[in-house]
Structure 1
Amino acid sequence: MSDTDDKDSKTEAPSEKKVRDALEKGNIPFSREAPLFASILGILIGLAFAVRSNTKTLTEKLSLFINRPQDFRLETGADAANLIQAVAIEVGQCLIPVIVILAACSLSASILQNVPSVVAERIRPQWNRVSPVGGWKRIFGRQGLVEFLKSLFKFGTMTLVSILLLRSEQYKVLNAMFSDPSLLPELMLTMAMRLVSAIAIATIVLVAADLLWARFKWHSDLKMTKQEVKEEYKQMEGDPMVKARMRSLAQDRSRKRMLAAVPKATFVIANPTHYAIALRYERSEASAPIVVAKGQDLIALKIREIAEKNGVPVIEDKPLARSMYNHVEVDRMIPPDFYKAVAQILFYILTRSK
């Protein structure tokens, strides 16, 4: 069966068990564009708050390279290393807040989509992950086409936004060549913020569509065929044929045990072929007669046959046998409602035996 035919046959919604199993194995709906969008927002937040506040200080310190180059010793390699280290520290103090904000936004985007969990199944080596055939299908399949279209959209959006922004700011860029160099960082920061803001706005639609697509594809991949639904039901509830067979075996064992107890009965009440109830009464065992066997039709005839073969009295009382059959249970005492009628039968049997 081809993959297309297999997907076409999956017409049933995924069961709760299949969804639960998928989540336990780490198969969760996940949008790759959401963390990317969060990263863009993180860059924008970092530029607006962290970088802007540090830009002036960083500019003043770096301007010393132009205004007072004689203050920096570069006579040996150690001097150069110290200078590079000092510059790196100053730049790092400016960029570290941005990196922290960027990481926090990316992690938040992933955590908000799904609760993080450790799944050994995801890191277990699997051949289909390194299989050339599987890789070819992923690249040129439906998912590969969707990823290509998303990448094409992102590339086209960023290119278009960059071109439009540079066109609108081209005169400022040209004028900056003849202005105070200390103003360049502020100009570059402003242009970067405008560029990142425009890209974030342009990709909102892509992120929303990708979130919906991830959920839809995940749900679609978990769909089941009618045969899978039947097999899962059998696993959860048990195979109906097996259950029926087990129930039949249990009934056979109970019937044999019940018939084996008939010879120990005190008497049998019958109607004369449809119903039969075997009762045992011993004062030392219970305060009322106990039902050791009951049955109708063929079982009733079998009870009568065993009773007559073992000398157990059989009393024919149609109304009493029919009434008792529906109200008594095997291995339990008879209800108080039948005490009087059964006592009369016991008195009759004891009198006749004397």
Structure 2
Amino acid sequence: MADEDKDSKTERPTEKKLRDTMEKGNVPHSREATIFASMLATVIYVTFFLPERMGRMGEVLRDLFEKPDQWHLETGPDALSLFTRIGWEVGNLLLPAIVLFFIFGIGSSMFQNLPTPVLDRIQPKFSRISPVSGWSRIFSTSGLVEFGKSLAKIVVVSIIMFFVLRSQFFHAIDSLASDPQTIFVRLSTIVERILTIVLLATAVVGIADVAWSRHHWFDQLKMTKQEIKDEYKQSQGDPIVKSRQRSIARDRARRRMMKQVPRATLIIANPTHFAVALRYVREEGDAPVVVAKGQDLIALKIREIAEANGIPVFEDAPLARSMFAQVSVDSVIPSVFYKAVAELIHRIYAQSNRTRVR
């Protein structure tokens, strides 16, 4: 069943799914990139900071072992002074390394993904301490890939180190009987070579792992066609429901429009297909306003309301069709219709004046 689900996930993940996944803290992350950053910090430390500080540390140890008479250990303050001196030198030796590890560690994480606070990742979950979940993670595809990468790194780095450093083996043995400063210098040289080899190997593995982690992360987020349809329904709404909502909204707007028909001054109609209700009152504006319009059954309803309220209806098929297509409800008519509508309004006022005279 799981294989079938995986095979059916053939579609690219949508932007919404990618965004939601990142907001939950599920982002592509390469451990090898972090290891490479740590190795780079180590090489920088060994190359630029370690020789000088190691020389100072060698001097302190030489004075400690060759001139023990200058260190008085008769009282507690004497021992505290000795430990303080040694601790200060050790701190001076390790402080640059701590700073470099911190900077490069944060930098490698920010290089892969910008930091985002995710409370869900720090909440306690039983699955994180469950032995069953732990074994499933170890023997999963990701766990086996991590094990393969670690094993490959160990084998490759060991082989390279063997061929590169076998000539330094006897020099390292001879340096054990020499001056402490010489021991540290030779050891630092050997360590520098070892770290350079490891750095190069880690760089190659890191580049490959960054590409693989992003590909694997994207592949895990692939969706089925049904998931895409469901997501579209959730984001846009069910088409049936939205159609029903639009129908209700149109019905309400139609009823509101019909209530405005008794306020119209005249109706321009195609005999049966179109009807446009206009209102013109000099005190309200300089141009007529469309208060209602409709087609077919709605047009007949507008004419029915107009006749019931004594509103004059003028049948002009071209004018009614043009105004219906170009003018929306509650809008002033364009200037192109001024002349035709003005003639109709003039006829209404003339008829009204004749009625008053009679």
- Report the TM-score range of the alignment, normalised by the length of the smaller protein: 0.7 to 0.9
CA contact (8 A) 2:35 2:202 kept: no
**Correspondence for 1:10:** 9
**Correspondence for 1:35:** 34
**Correspondence for 1:88:** 87
Aligned to 1:326, the other structure's residue is in SS state: helix
**Correspondence for 2:55:** 56
Taking a change above 3 Å as real, the CA distance of residues 82 and 301 of structure 1, as seen in their structure-2 partners, is same
**Correspondence for 2:120:** 121
Aligned to 2:326, the other structure's residue is in SS state: coil
Moved beyond 6 Å, runs of 4+: none
**Correspondence for 2:192:** 193
**Correspondence for 2:293:** 294
| Residue pairs, 1:112-191, within 5 angstroms | 112-164=111-163, 167-180=166-179, 182-191=181-190
Give the drift of 1:206.
Answer: 0.8
Give the drift of 1:351.
Answer: 5.1
Take 2:309 and 2:206, find their aligned partners in 1: how far apart are those partners?
86
Taking a change above 3 Å as real, the CA distance of residues 136 and 58 of structure 1, as seen in their structure-2 partners, is closer
Take 1:103 and 1:233, find their aligned partners in 2: how far apart are those partners?
44
Give the drift of 1:144.
Answer: 0.7
Take 2:227 and 2:184, find their aligned partners in 1: how far apart are those partners?
63
Aligned to 1:101, the other structure's residue is in SS state: helix
**Correspondence for 2:96:** 97
Letter in 1 for 2:141: R
Letter in 2 for 1:329: S
Give the drift of 1:208.
Answer: 0.9
Taking a change above 3 Å as real, the CA distance of residues 177 and 298 of structure 1, as seen in their structure-2 partners, is closer
Superposed CA deviations along residues 32-59 of structure 1, whole A, max 9, x for unmatched, are 1122122222222222222211333322
Give the drift of 1:205.
Answer: 1.3
CA contact (8 A) 1:161 1:199 kept: no
Letter in 2 for 1:38: A
Q: How many residues align?
A: 353
Superposed CA deviations along residues 162-214 of structure 1, whole A, max 9, x for unmatched, are 54455322221333355455522222222211211121122221111111112
Taking a change above 3 Å as real, the CA distance of residues 69 and 162 of structure 1, as seen in their structure-2 partners, is farther
Give the drift of 1:143.
Answer: 0.8
Superposed CA deviations along residues 147-173 of structure 1, whole A, max 9, x for unmatched, are 111221233234334544553222213
Aligned to 1:269, the other structure's residue is in SS state: strand
* Unpaired stretches in structure 2, ≥5 consecutive residues: none
Take 2:314 and 2:47, find their aligned partners in 1: how far apart are those partners?
101
**Correspondence for 1:345:** 344
Aligned to 1:276, the other structure's residue is in SS state: strand
Superposed CA deviations along residues 189-248 of structure 1, whole A, max 9, x for unmatched, are 222112111211222211111111122122223333323333333344444333322221
| Residue pairs, 1:306-325, within 5 angstroms | 306-325=305-324
- State yes or no: 1:257 paired with 2:295: no
Give the drift of 1:12.
Answer: 2.3
Taking a change above 3 Å as real, the CA distance of residues 93 and 279 of structure 1, as seen in their structure-2 partners, is closer
**Correspondence for 2:245:** 246
**Correspondence for 2:215:** 216
CA contact (8 A) 1:279 1:289 kept: yes
**Correspondence for 2:270:** 271
Give the drift of 1:303.
Answer: 2.0
* Stretch moving more, 124-133 or 25-34: 124-133
Give the drift of 1:73.
Answer: 4.1
CA contact (8 A) 1:46 1:98 kept: yes
Take 1:281 and 1:111, find their aligned partners in 2: how far apart are those partners?
67
**Correspondence for 1:305:** 304
Taking a change above 3 Å as real, the CA distance of residues 86 and 313 of structure 1, as seen in their structure-2 partners, is closer
**Correspondence for 2:328:** 329
**Correspondence for 2:202:** 203
Query: Percent identical across equivalent pairs?
Result: 50
CA contact (8 A) 2:58 2:180 kept: no
* Stretch moving more, 61-70 or 158-167: 158-167
Question: TM-score, with normalisation over the residues of structure 2?
Answer: 0.85
Aligned to 2:268, the other structure's residue is in SS state: strand
Letter in 2 for 1:20: R
CA contact (8 A) 1:157 1:199 kept: no
* Stretch moving more, 188-197 or 9-18: 9-18
Take 1:54 and 1:271, find their aligned partners in 2: how far apart are those partners?
99
Take 2:220 and 2:293, find their aligned partners in 1: how far apart are those partners?
55
Aligned to 2:223, the other structure's residue is in SS state: coil
* Unpaired stretches in structure 1, ≥5 consecutive residues: none
**Correspondence for 2:43:** 44
Give the drift of 1:74.
Answer: 4.8
* Stretch moving more, 64-73 or 101-110: 64-73
Take 1:92 and 1:289, find their aligned partners in 2: how far apart are those partners?
89
Letter in 2 for 1:90: E
CA contact (8 A) 1:259 1:303 kept: yes
- State yes or no: 1:230 paired with 2:229: yes
CA contact (8 A) 2:54 2:93 kept: yes
